[in-house]
Amino acid sequence: MFSEVKICIIGLGYVGLPLAVEFGKIFPTIGFDINTKRIEELKSGHDRTLEVESDKLNSSNHLNYTSNTADIDSANVYIVTVPTPIDENKSPDLTPLVKASEMLAGIVTKNDVIIYESTVYPGATEEVCIPIIEAGSSLKYNVDFFAGYSPERINPGDKEHRVTSIKKVTSGSNDKIATFVDELYKTIITAGTHKASSIRVAEAAKVIENTQRDLNIALINELAIIFNNLNIDTEEVLKAAGTKWNFLPFRPGLVGGHCIGVDPYYLTYKAQSIGYNPEIILAGRRINDGMGKYVVSVLIKAMIKKRVHVDNANVLLLGITFKENCPDLRNTKVVDIVVELKEYNVNVDIYDPWVSSEDALNEYGLDLVDKPENNKYDAVIIAVAHNEFIEIGAAGLRDFLRLDGLIYDLKYLFDRSETDIRL
């Protein structure tokens, strides 16, 4: 069934690269990315996302990397793993997906299969991508070429749940192709697959996975705000409630990243396009998007109560990534804290051992410090739960503070008695 399969992975980020490495163990595979610097790094054995170990990047004779479209026209299975962000108006930005489809339109030939993994709203693959390929290739969908959708489930920085060990949802443009796509992924996914009845079902399944998590976190964030106003420790409440067997173990915090803080807007966009206003989903988004501003408001009030002068104060922000122990900066909501603090004319030093200064500067125009200074800061905000911050310890963080300085623990890294403010 797969004797003639040659795979091309389009987009070698957190999703595409691990996929290319796994498929490259079995099939002739080409990893394609328009970023020539990225291709050069991969060829030299370096993955800046830290998702794939250096010794695995070039360990297979079946896998090659390229940024040249002329190198990929020999493939017959194309898997698209480009980003699907939102724009400044929080609407889906399908530009990377459209450009990838336009490129494929000039490459695909008869009987090729194109599988999309990028997160989209239900219907996007067949309503947006496929017409682009049909128009540019003069090939007819489900006659001359075929499509599948298998949503990514990559969890950046997670060394336990890898691409092969996470169950994969698959689908195809007809029954035969659905079976082909499902069997193709089964060759690398040890956790098994779930074949959806249609591409639209698979798209919808993906977009609600993170919408559900977003809403659960929004509920806990709102509870944290309520409990803070009641002078009740939120973590103590959650631990007590967690003694019931079916209480879900969510924690409050900043909701960023390429999935949870983005995917719900894809679903609400589609809902609004058909005349339905999704009130609960958007309410959750408003709460989570407002947490950066809320965090700063709590800090400023605490500083005023301790008579710490806010204007021109120095604050150390620990962590800038969207989650712990990974270098991923995409859609990090820690940036909201930086922006809000500067509204109060506060000087902010950012320390993150997982991020290069170049990446932070290119992505957000922010400078990082190589090492925090002792006795400099009026407050330390623990924004990301990197292992390095745990190793420093609460007592070590106190060394960074001036007299009457505050430790604000957003991640519950330390005991309540060791910090001054908690989320």
Nearest C-alpha neighbor of 328 from the set 384, 289, 376: 384
Distances (CA, A) of 312 to 215, 346, 374: 36, 5, 18
User: Quick check: 211 and 267 in contact, CB under 8 A?
Assistant: yes
Name the token pair of 317.
């922000």
Packing angle, helices 263-273 and 199-229, rounded to 10:
110
Is 326 a known active-site residue?
no
Contact 158, 92 (CB under 8 A): no
SS3 8: strand
Go through 369-399 and write b for each residue having 16 or more CB atoms within 10 A of its CB, e for each that does not.
eeebeeebbbbbbbbbbbebbeebebeebee
Are 87 and 165 within 8 A, CB to CB?
no
Hey, how many other C-beta atoms are within 10 angstroms of the C-beta on 146? 23
The DSSP call for residue 169 is E
Q: What is the rounded (10 degree) CA torsion for 30, 31, 33, 37?
A: -110
Active-site hit among 8, 129, 259, 326: 259
Q: How far apart are CA 179 and CA 114, in angstroms?
A: 14
What CA–CA distance (Å, rounded) separates 90 from 289?
A: 11
Query: Tokens 């070039």 appear where?
Result: 58
Active site residues: 259
